Amino acid sequence: MYEINFNQKQHVHFTGIGGISMSALAEILLSKGFIVSGSDSRESELTDRLTGLGATIVYEQTAKNITNNIDFLVYTAAVKNDNPELVKARELSIPTLTRAEFLGQLMRTYESAICISGTHGKTTVTSMISQILLESTDPTILVGGVLNAINGNAHIGSSGIMVNESCEYTNSFLSFYPTTAIILNVREDHMDFFKDINDIRNSFKKFAGLVPEDGTVIINTEIDDFSYFTNNLKCRVITYGKSSDAEYTAANISYNSVACAEFDVIHNGKCEAHITLGVPGEHNVYNSLAAIAACRDKDVEYSNIIEGLHKYSGTDRRFQYKGTAGGVTIIDDYAHHPDEIEATLKTAKSCKYNTLWCLFQPHTFTRTKAFMKDFARALSLADKVILADIYPARETDNLGISSETLLAEVKKTGCEAYYFSDFEDIKKFILKNCINGDLLITMGAGNIQIVGEELLEQ
């Protein structure tokens, strides 16, 4: 693999520079004085930000974008081998690195790399840790969402700490060099890549094994047979969760009128602090425990932890309040896995409303097919469900299923459900049927948030 000299200013080209992770990496290199170019399919706020910082970006991917003066090229997992830029780079013998390989090399330039992994909750916990550390130090932050505290998805810090959201898809996180590895949960997902749950568990075990002897693994005791991931590790292991034998757990949990919790932090049986969260839901109590464990492991004072967690009010598309129109409150959420949907709808049910509507856009055909019954069960927590077409993302094969297939499963639970193939028809239905006092959640990892935003404009 090509070894990057980060002390030598080079020209790097990013194929797919507009992605949430790629744009963050490009920003870091710009701050180091690198020449950065890139391509993407469309202009966005992220690409505009990079252009303002000095990057050269084109909005088509063609061979002519790749020239001999490029020192190396970075590409995402979504880029296929026949991509014209990738093909041209190899013809010119320009070194190519996956996003994960590049990030792994960058990680080694920091004294401490805190990597947050798990099937879900990564963005939230990465953001919580970042918000806490910003109270006491100046970390470098790479997060898979827009964090208000840093006005974006990346922050170039002056300290030797990097905080990084670490995804298991295509085993990307196995290219990393964590000194602290956090495992929030291990569930079936990305079944277009993994064979089964055992394949996924094996990847997370390998991820834990990347931590050096002087590092730390932080793991949720709610994970099935969690010791499987920590057996034979030579590094320190810290546990958190609901069980009384976890090192970090929560007691005396209560909720305010918007479902934000406050609770006592119990560490090895001793009450050490009282926390008030700025984000709703029981799941965020345990997300915050992971963040607390990581920060205490770095000797962060509880005063900074308390302040950081209180200030953290969420990232974009995580139970994000969008507005109220005609008395209907609109929330947007990125949930696209049954566990995430369940957590989001349970949080919503603790809010005050007349009818809870969930407008769900399934994400990828493989995920929808693999979790069809689980999706139906989770969605049935809403009073009424509206389904949009499946957002295919990187997939082209519909596997013989559609949102109408899911509609039939949701109706089997007894939940009132509807399906529309067009966003305009969805908006018309909502305008006619949602009334004063209702709560509408637009949900999914695609572009479903557009519906809520356009309804508010109308």
> pLDDT at position 300, please?
97
Task: Show the domains of the chain with their CATH numbers.
Answer: 11-100 (3.40.50.720), 110-311 (3.40.1190.10), 320-457 (3.90.190.20)
> pLDDT at position 263, please?
98
**Contact between 330 and 324 (Cβ < 8 Å):** yes
**What is the rounded distance in angstroms from the CA atom of residue 402 to the CA atom of residue 407?**
9
Cβ neighbourhood burial of 198 (10 Å; 0-12, 13-18, 19+) = exposed
Q: Which amino acid is at 20?
A: I
> pLDDT at position 281, please?
84
Going 449 to 311 to 215 to 185, the CA torsion angle's sign is negative
**What is the rounded distance in angstroms from the CA atom of residue 345 to the CA atom of residue 204?**
28
> pLDDT at position 18, please?
92
Q: Which helix (H) or strand (E) holds 236?
A: strand 236-240
Q: Per this entry, what is the length of the chain? A: 458
Q: At what angle do helices 372-379 and 338-349 cross, to 10 degrees?
A: 0
Radius of gyration of the chain (CA): 22
> pLDDT at position 233, please?
96
> pLDDT at position 142, please?
92
pTM: 0.80
Residues of the chain with pLDDT below 50 are none
DSSP-assigned letter for residue 430: H
> pLDDT at position 87, please?
97
DSSP per residue, 46-107: HHHHHHHHT-EEESS--GGG--TT--EEEE-TT--TT-HHHHHHHHTT--EEEHHHHHHHHH
**What is the rounded distance in angstroms from the CA atom of residue 35 to the CA atom of residue 12?**
6
Q: Which residues touch 334 (CB under 8 Å, ≥6 apart)?
A: 123, 145, 317, 318, 340, 443, 444, 445
> pLDDT at position 21, please?
84
Helix (H, G, I), strand (E, B) or coil at 143: strand
* Selection from 65, 116, 111 nearest residue 92 by Cα: 65
**Cα 241 → chain centroid:** 20
